[in-house]
Amino acid sequence: MREFKRRVLDWFDHRTGLETAIRNFLYEDIPGSSGWHQVFGSVAVFLFMVQAFTGILLAFNYAATPGDAYNSLKYIIMEVTGGRLIHGLHHWGASMMIVVVVLHMTQVFLFGAYKKPREATWMVGVVLLLITLAYGLTGYLLPWDNRAYWGTVVTTQIASQVPLLGSYLKRFLGTNDGSVGVVTFARFYGLHVLILPQLTTLLIVFHIYLVRKHGVAPTPGDASPNKKFFPEQMLKDVVAVFAAFVTLYLMALFVAIPLDRLADPTDLTYIPRPDWYFLFLFQTLKFFKGSLEPVGTVLLPTLGVLALFLTPFMDRGKLVKLTQRTTAVGVFAFAAIAWGALTLGAIRSTPAAQEQANNPPQAAGLNQFSPQELAGLGYFRQEKCLACHNLDVGPPKAGPNLATAREHKNAAWMIKHFKNPNQVVPGTNMPPILLSDAKLDALASFLLKLTPDNASDVAAVPDNVVRGAQIYEAQACGNCHMVNGVGAKLGPPLNGLAQRRDQQWVEKHFADPAAMSSGSIMPPSQFSPADMQAIVDYLFSLPGA
């Protein structure tokens, strides 16, 4: 049996060379000084594999179009089995990959492992670092929440300031008109999913080839004999990979992922903030105003990248021990302190969330009802239906409990019953309801939405909020706007409006929409003070999406 197995392996190796390649990989000689400080490269490769795998799983349920992207992401998190975990692994894995790649580059820099003949290895590593950051930039837009949208607006504006190339970058990113839309989203998604992963794979393979070609840089003065990569160093790599995965898994389980409200291009008051690894650059821009802004956005980052690329050619001295590399340690310490101080300054300057003290409290469960259904509640109250019907528990009344009724009639039956109760239910004492067909339809929609679980929520909705929903319906606002997932997408969704606008702004917008939102096609509306307060109360009571 052993001889047969050997013959099969020999046949397979003779035709593929895989067994020989794996043996050579595992049993390659590495310096005796190799150890724990050289595990970061393996961890970085593992994290890239996690990102690729979780990205593929997310793509099965992700809708790669603006607006739909946001809803599909919420669907993944809330509905798909294991979706929240996969999303967490992908999100936090991106941050962890940046940390590990930076640590790997730092270790190589401090030990001087970029020196001859390993200059190309270092330069490929710098490109991989830039690509890792590019994943963050391109993936930042894909949730299509307000945070992602306005952060990308700033990113594209910075790209447009690049000398000579700015206009071409704007065209490439689809932001010729200064806005972020479908084209920009498609370009970022294409880069993130179709181009960067393939480029990363090729460069990782090339980087590993260069590492194997020139060998791991030994510690100067180390007289210990060489050792094999397997098993000692491989064990260290496996332990480090396992520790990284456990950390990532725990973060995916227990650390909440920030997801803002749906992107609102009209929210000009929103203050964009980049992800944590770009906060230092965000803070740096505060020192360069007006005509000096390109210095902070283009010149300094370009000089920093060039300095990284040229490091092997600027430091051409002999390889010495870490304790003798005072200049390298000093440069690293300066960079770490500067990065930390700028990042901390950006975090401390983050504005607190705006309080909406004057807004009406949001009734529990209000996000379950469309504007038409909530308007139907108003007609239910207006016609004093509660005199004969219960919506919740209470003493028995002449009519049935409308929330706990065993059988719900359809809307057509209800409307006939509203118009001529005695004809539909002979002997009933219910008077006809003299409302228009549209209002009767709203009343029927409300009754059909009633359940024992939401009946108590209905009772808590203030009358003025219900009146606002009726005005919203009468004005046909749903032809352009979406509320609680119902309506059109021509205008911005109105859920969470209280989080981004105040009452004065909303009132001015109703009076003159074009003046408050440039390019708006919304017609002006003239409300009485009472009706204005009612529709504002309704809009401000809408929970965030």
Regarding whether 530 and 492 lie in a shared domain, the answer is yes
**Greatest mean pLDDT range, 261-265, 311-315, 361-365:** 311-315
| C-alpha to C-alpha distance for 462 and 534, rounded to whole angstroms | 10
**How big is the CA angle at 264 (ends 259 and 267), to the nearest 5 degrees?**
110
Q: Please report whether residue 297 resides in a domain.
A: no
Regarding whether 375 and 474 lie in a shared domain, the answer is yes
Residue-wise burial string across 298-310, b where 16 or more C-beta atoms lie within 10 A, e elsewhere: bebeeeeeeebbe
Q: In the prediction, which pLDDT does 41 show?
A: 92
Average pLDDT over residues 239-246: 96
Regarding whether 35 and 5 lie in a shared domain, the answer is no
Q: What is the DSSP letter of 383?
A: T
Q: Please report whether residue 121 resides in a domain.
A: yes
Provide the CATH number for the domain around residue 230. Answer: 1.20.810.10
pLDDT digits (tens, 9 = 90+) for 460-509: 788 888 899 999 999 999 899 988 888 888 888 888 788 778 888 888 88
In the chain, the percentage of residues whose pLDDT exceeds 70 is 93
Q: In the prediction, which pLDDT does 360 show?
A: 45
Residue 222 or residue 200, greater confidence: 200
Q: Is 266 exposed, middle or buried (0-12, 13-18, 19+ CB in 10 A)?
A: middle
Tokens for 226, please give them. Answer: 């060489």
Gap between the terminal Cα atoms of the chain: 65
- The type of residue at 408 is H
Q: Please report whether residue 139 resides in a domain.
A: yes
Are residues 103 and 273 in contact, defined by beta-carbon separation less than 8 angstroms? no
Q: Is the pLDDT of residue 154 over 90?
A: no
* The dihedral formed by the CA atoms of 494, 500, 502 and 508, expressed in degrees to the nearest 10: -60
Q: In the prediction, which pLDDT does 355 show?
A: 37
pLDDT digits (tens, 9 = 90+) for 392-448: 666 777 777 777 765 667 888 888 888 888 888 887 778 888 888 888 898 888 888
Cα 361 to chain centroid, rounded: 28
Regarding whether 228 and 102 lie in a shared domain, the answer is yes
Q: Please report whether residue 326 resides in a domain.
A: no
From the DSSP assignment, how many helices (H) and strands (E) are in the chain?
A: 24, 4
Q: Please report whether residue 344 resides in a domain.
A: no
Q: In the prediction, which pLDDT does 361 show?
A: 45
Domain boundary among 255, 273, 291: 273
| C-alpha to C-alpha distance for 398 and 541, rounded to whole angstroms | 34
How many residues are given for the chain? 545
pLDDT digits (tens, 9 = 90+) for 161-209: 888 888 888 888 888 766 788 899 999 999 999 999 999 999 999 999 9
In three-state secondary structure terms, 472 is helix
Domain boundary among 273, 289, 321: 273
Regarding whether 459 and 373 lie in a shared domain, the answer is yes
What is the greatest pairwise CA distance in the chain?
A: 106
Q: Is the pLDDT of residue 96 over 60?
A: yes
Regarding whether 373 and 225 lie in a shared domain, the answer is no
In three-state secondary structure terms, 147 is helix
In three-state secondary structure terms, 30 is strand
Regarding whether 409 and 513 lie in a shared domain, the answer is yes
Q: Please report whether residue 306 resides in a domain.
A: no
Are residues 109 and 37 in contact, defined by beta-carbon separation less than 8 angstroms? no
| C-alpha to C-alpha distance for 416 and 440, rounded to whole angstroms | 10
Regarding whether 94 and 10 lie in a shared domain, the answer is no
pLDDT digits (tens, 9 = 90+) for 344-389: 998 887 765 433 333 444 454 566 788 898 888 888 888 888 778 8
In three-state secondary structure terms, 263 is coil
Mean pLDDT, all residues of the chain: 86
Q: How many separate domains does the chain show?
A: 3
Helix (H) or strand (E) run with residue 227 in it: strand 227-228
Regarding whether 409 and 517 lie in a shared domain, the answer is yes
Q: In the prediction, which pLDDT does 238 show?
A: 95
Q: Is the pLDDT of residue 144 over 60?
A: yes
Provide the CATH number for the domain around residue 441. Answer: 1.10.760
pLDDT digits (tens, 9 = 90+) for 98-141: 999 999 999 999 999 899 899 999 999 999 999 999 999 999 99
Q: Please report whether residue 486 resides in a domain.
A: yes
Regarding whether 401 and 267 lie in a shared domain, the answer is no
Name the phi and psi angles at 63, rounded to 5. Answer: -95, 110
Regarding whether 47 and 13 lie in a shared domain, the answer is no
**Greatest mean pLDDT range, 43-47, 283-287, 415-419:** 43-47
**Domain extent for 176:** 31-273
Regarding whether 226 and 182 lie in a shared domain, the answer is yes
Cα 225 to chain centroid, rounded: 50
430 contact partners, CB below 8 Å, separation of at least 6 = 388, 399, 417, 421, 422
Domain boundary among 218, 247, 273: 273
pTM, entire model: 0.67
Full 3-state SS string of 265-301: CCCCCCCCCCCHHHHHHHHHHHHCCHHHHHHHHHHHH
Q: Please report whether residue 288 resides in a domain.
A: no
In this structure, how many other beta carbons lie within 10 angstroms of the beta carbon of residue 14?
10
